[in-house]
Structure 1
Amino acid sequence: MLTLTLLAGGGAAIGALGRFAIMHFARPLNDRWPLPIATLFINLTGAFLLGLLLARTLPLNWQVFLGTGITGGYTTFSTMINEVVLLARHHHWHVAWTYLGTSLIGGLALAFLGNIL
């Protein structure tokens, strides 16, 4: 159990660092557009990667490290929901709904695509 915990935690640290780097370098895009481009990109690519992982029969250690750890630390559902709430609070309803719909439908579609590839 300790091994799986360390694998999940180590993978999550790697995923979170990747998310941080993308958020940092995409800041100019986020400042120009009302749509949170960086979070959308992160969550959609994370869904695709998770779809790729689910299609494979991997040992439990690899599933925990790659799926729960790296992909879990990389993607961010809570940030997406917070951004949707902030957009709605500032009366950007159209952008909020577009962002939420793109995140959910796009995430499912990319997870499915990753799975079939």
Structure 2
Amino acid sequence: MSVLAVAAGAALGAPIRYLTDLWLRSVLGAAFPWGTLVVNTAGSLVLGALLGLPLSPQAMAVWGTGFCGALTTYSTFAFETVQLARGGDARRAAVYVAASLVLGIASAWAGLSVVRALTG
């Protein structure tokens, strides 16, 4: 049952990631990987919030592993960082790495903190 739960969550997260990236590329252009930065930050926020909730292992499989796992993407982050650096834009690559780390960790912490504050 856990495999189906993960697959159900992933079936929601993956299209959201893809559509978010397409939309942000159309709005902001492709010079910076805004789509991956946004979905990784949002996924970190959601996962942090989930960690503050008393969820069953089944619910964590759907929403944590499935949804957040498919929404966020470390491999794309790594690929885009390498592409920026290989394209001669080491400064932009460094900004992307720093922003991804700071925003991801801060978002996870914020999600957890908000849930804890709301649930006492």
TM value normalised by structure 2: 0.90
Distance 2:74 2:8 in 1: 20
CA distance in 2, matches of 1:66, 1:72: 8
- Equivalenced residues, count: 114
Q: What is the percent sequence identity of the aligned residues?
A: 34
Q: How many Å apart are 1:30 and its aligned residue?
A: 4.8
Q: CA RMSD in A?
A: 1.1
2:68 is equivalent to residue 68 of structure 1: no
Describe how 1:1-117 pairs up with structure 2 within 5 A. Answer: 3-31=1-29, 34-117=31-114
The TM-score with structure 1 as length reference comes to: 0.93
Contact kept, 8 Å, 1:30 with 1:38, in 2: the verdict is no
Deviation of the 1:27 alpha carbon: 1.9
What is the rounded CA distance, in whole Å, between the counterparts of 1:108 and 1:101 in structure 2? 11
Give the C-alpha shift of residue 31 in structure 1.
Answer: 2.4
Q: Distance between the aligned counterparts of 1:58 and 1:27, measured in 2?
A: 35
